[in-house]
Amino acid sequence: MCGGASKVMIRTLNLPSDVESRLLSNGLGTAQALIDEGKAGLEALGISPDDILGISEAVNKETGMAID
């Protein structure tokens, strides 16, 4: 899967609109960017633990990769 996660845009993850807006406003527009940011980075952006769990599940479903 060459470049798989970098081609999955967060708009395809069906996230709540407020979470999607916060991610996009912080330059996180792809699943790969979310994976690179990690859970600690998402928490630092003010994303709640429940939302991080939802993001992680959506990313895993689309890419087979986890957010650590």
Q: How confident is the model at residue 49 (pLDDT cuts 50, 70, 90)?
A: very high
- Structural contact between residues 39 and 52, judged by C-beta atoms closer than 8 angstroms: yes
Q: What is the pTM of this model?
A: 0.90
* Residue 41 to residue 25: CA distance in whole angstroms: 14
- The per-residue pLDDT for 3 is 56
- Structural contact between residues 42 and 52, judged by C-beta atoms closer than 8 angstroms: yes
Percent of the chain scoring above 70 in pLDDT: 96
- The per-residue pLDDT for 42 is 97
